[in-house]
Amino acid sequence: MSLLEIRSVSKFFGGFAAVNNVSLKINRGDIRFIIGPNGAGKSTLFKIIIGVHNINSGSVLFNEQKIEKLSLSERINLGIGVKFQSPSVFNKLTVKENFRLAIKPKYNLEISHFLETFGLENDQDKLAGDLSHGKKQWLDIALCSISKPALVLLDEPTAGLSFEETKTTGELIQELNQQGMTFVIVEHDMEILKQIAKSVSVLHLGKLFFEGSPKEVLNNKQVTNIYLGID
């Protein structure tokens, strides 16, 4: 049974098809990377899944329930965590207050474990805006995963990170994946894809171009060509 299913989804901006009849199935426990060159439709698809963009046709199912008519907050409360492209932590609140916002009362979670996991234990009283870029990214991932959602959607979680920070981010995602969270990651960075991806979907010109294991994708000449812009 798929945790997330996208059925023949299309999204048009005027006459331009940003996402054209795309279907995807994400199974529980997967770490699915969605890659593609600029303009492939990755971010639009991401926004369709979380409900920022409405769709023109098709449907989106989470746990076999249609969610395309639900608002962003309603989707989140079904068990989806979201991290946007740039670190969108609350800069004027402390790290602890950021966590307070992310914890749903019903989970009654202890945040100290999470602070430790993400290397933020000494920063909890700091303003989030004073953290380094890498720590902001980790705090952002921590915020969307602290309530242990079934599905976590990450848009470019390693953007602007050093090689070491990217590696650590990969390890953090793997640890959360082992705790039972499924990941869908929109990413450009091939290093983290090689490090943690379990499956990859390649988008090109708004359509699903290729799907397979990381090895299959990386060895596919057509994928390499469209990714590098070679016809």
Partner 1 sequence: MVKANNILTILVFVVLLIIPILFDTFYVNNFSYFILWTFISLGLALIWGMGGILSFGQTAFFGLAGYSFAVISINFADVFAVGIWAPILALCITAIFGGLVGYFLFYGEIYDVFIGIVTLAITLVLETFMAQTAGPEWAIGSARLNGFNGMQGMPPIGITIGPLEFYLQDIGQYYFMVFLAMFSLWVLYKIKKSNFGLILIASKEDRIRAESLGHNVKRIQVITFSLSALFAGISGILYTNWGGYITPSSMGLVASAMPVIWVAASGKDDFFSVFFGCILLSYVSQTLAINGAQYAIILMGFILVIVTRYFPEGIILMSKKFFTNEPLSKKRP
Interface ranges with partner 1 (CB under 8 A): 50, 52, 71-73, 76-77, 82, 84, 88-93, 97, 100-102, 104-105, 143-144, 147
Which residues sit opposite 7 in a β-bridge?
59
Distance CA 103, CA 86 (A): 21
Cα separation values, 188 from 30, 115, 155, 191, Å: 18, 27, 10, 9
| CB nearer partner 1, residue 105 or residue 229 | 105
Number of other residues whose CB lies within 10 A of the CB of residue 168: 18
Distance CA 157, CA 140 (A): 9
| CB nearer partner 1, residue 141 or residue 197 | 141
| CB nearer partner 1, residue 54 or residue 222 | 54
| CB nearer partner 1, residue 126 or residue 198 | 126
- We find the least distance from the C-beta atom of residue 129 to partner 1, in angstroms, to be 10
Distance CA 90, CA 54 (A): 26
Place of tokens 């945790």: 3
Distance CA 172, CA 151 (A): 15
- We find the least distance from the C-beta atom of residue 225 to partner 1, in angstroms, to be 35
- We find the least distance from the C-beta atom of residue 131 to partner 1, in angstroms, to be 15
- We find the least distance from the C-beta atom of residue 142 to partner 1, in angstroms, to be 12
- We find the least distance from the C-beta atom of residue 176 to partner 1, in angstroms, to be 17
- We find the least distance from the C-beta atom of residue 78 to partner 1, in angstroms, to be 9
Distance CA 84, CA 150 (A): 17
| CB nearer partner 1, residue 147 or residue 199 | 147
Distance CA 231, CA 228 (A): 9
| CB nearer partner 1, residue 17 or residue 93 | 93
